[in-house]
Each structure stands twice: as C-alpha cells, then as structure tokens.
Amino acid sequence: MIRLFLVLFFCFSSAALSASTNFGFYSNVKANLETGSIDGYEILIVPAQNGDQLIFQVSKGWPSNVIVFDVDVNDIEFVHPTLGKIEVEFVNDDLHLEFKDKSFVEVLKRGKSFWQQ
C-alpha cells in the first residue's frame, strides 16, 4: 500500500512540475564594455515547496540585490518596492515585464543567465 502511494505521489508530482514550461531564466542584461556598466533585468522562475517563486534582479549600472517573490507561474504579478506593480506575460520564449506604475514594457529573452556567460 505504501509503495502504491509513493508511486502515485511521484507521478502526480512530476506531472505538476512539467505542466508549466515557463520555468527558467529570462534576461535582457547587457554589459557596456566602454563604461563597465551592467544594465537590464533578470528573472529566474522556479517551482518551490509551497508554490512557485520568482527571483528578480535589476541592474542599472551595477546589479542590485535580488528579491524573491511568491508567484503562480501561470499568472504572475508582483509589487516591487521601488518599481511598483509588475505584470508578466509569456510570448513564445520571451517574457514581457509590464511596469504598470511606470507605463513601460521590457522584453526578456529566455536562456542562460547573464552571470552564466
């Protein structure tokens, strides 16, 4: 009986994890070789024990500390302490960050983190 429970548990757990293809890194961070500044936004979306989490980093000249937000990977919105309300939309392999309070959109490409290059 315990084996059956464990098999069913792992089947449903892996199905839940694979249900979303939106987990991963998204970035538009670039380095300016002339000035040495690093600019852009980077996001990592991961499954976690009690839901999904989004790790967010802003670079305006130099990278800020990361902030972790609890989110639902299929309907992401969060409030950044200085940037205000941000909504996320997935378009193909891109992530669109819509800064509601500032009225602009940034497009982040899916792939490796800037820090992995």
Q: Which domains does the chain have, with CATH numbers?
A: 21-116 (2.40.128)
pLDDT, residue 66, reads 98
Residue of 7, 40, 3 lying closest to 25 (CA atoms): 40
Give the amino acid at 78.
F
Percentage of the residues of the chain whose pLDDT score is greater than 90: 78
Convert the pLDDT of each residue in 21-63 to its tens digit.
899 999 999 999 999 999 999 999 999 998 999 999 999 999 9
| E strand or H helix at 4 | helix 2-18
Is 58 buried (19+), middle (13-18) or exposed (0-12) by CB count in 10 A? middle
Model pTM? 0.80
Convert the pLDDT of each residue in 42-52 to its tens digit.
999 999 998 99
